């Protein structure tokens, strides 16, 4: 089974599980379902390289692999969320001193962007395990 764990941050599985229980990953779950629906044909092509009749685990592994290649469940939406995070940082920093938003954005990206993206990917991999029955239904439909 293909696994993903952020190498640039410590993000315990328990923290992600808590977010899941609180419903904070509902949007990510919808995006994951949409990703599986949009890319199921490609996932099948990749899976058939392993077997003409791939098992559920092969399908899920190839979903994971394809997600790693793509790097995002929904790039445009995730870019919007990233911009919101940067804007929060601009607001926070300008509470204490005045900095150009462009400088804050450059600094934020250098310091946090990789970590932020890895956390989103880790959450997606967590969700694959949680909703694998639903994902298999989609991939086999």
The reply to whether 100 falls in a domain is: yes
The Cβ of residue 98 has, within 10 Å, a number of other Cβ atoms equal to: 6
The reply to whether 21 falls in a domain is: yes
3-state secondary structure of 50: coil
CA distance 12 to 37: 29
Give the pLDDT confidence of 6-35 residue by residue, as tens digits: 776 678 889 999 999 999 999 999 999 999
User: Residue 114 pLDDT > 90, yes or no?
Assistant: no
pLDDT of residue 6: 73
The reply to whether 37 falls in a domain is: yes
Q: Is the dihedral of CA 52, 138, 46, 130 positive or negative?
A: negative
Closest residue by Cα to residue 1 from 39, 46, 56: 56
Domain of residue 131: give its range: 13-140
Q: Provide the mean pLDDT of the chain.
A: 91
Cα of 73 vs its chain's centroid, Å: 6
The reply to whether 42 falls in a domain is: yes
**74: DSSP letter:** S
**Number of domains the chain contains:** 1
The reply to whether 6 falls in a domain is: no
The reply to whether 116 falls in a domain is: yes
pLDDT of residue 10: 78
Two tokens, residue 29: 């779950």
The reply to whether 1 falls in a domain is: no
Give the pLDDT confidence of 73-107 residue by residue, as tens digits: 999 998 999 899 889 888 888 887 788 888 888 99
Give whole-number Cα distances, 121 to 34, 66, 73, 132, in Å.
15, 12, 8, 16
């Amino acid at each position: 089974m293909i696994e993903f764990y952020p190498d640039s941050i410590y993000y315990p599985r328990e923290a992600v599980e808590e977010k899941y229980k609180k419903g904070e990953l509902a949007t990510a779950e919808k995006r994951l379902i949409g990703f599986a629906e949009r890319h199921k044909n490609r996932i099948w092509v990749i899976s058939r390289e392993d077997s003409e009749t791939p098992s559920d685990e092969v399908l899920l592994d190839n979903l994971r692999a394809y997600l790693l290649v793509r790097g995002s469940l929904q790039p445009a939406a995730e870019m919007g969320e990233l911009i919101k995070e940067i804007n929060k940082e601009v607001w926070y920093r300008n509470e204490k001193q005045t900095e150009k938003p462009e400088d804050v954005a450059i600094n934020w990206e250098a310091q946090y962007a990789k970590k932020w993206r890895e956390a989103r990917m880790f959450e997606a991999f967590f969700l694959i395990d949680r909703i694998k029955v639903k994902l298999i239904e989609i991939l086999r439909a």
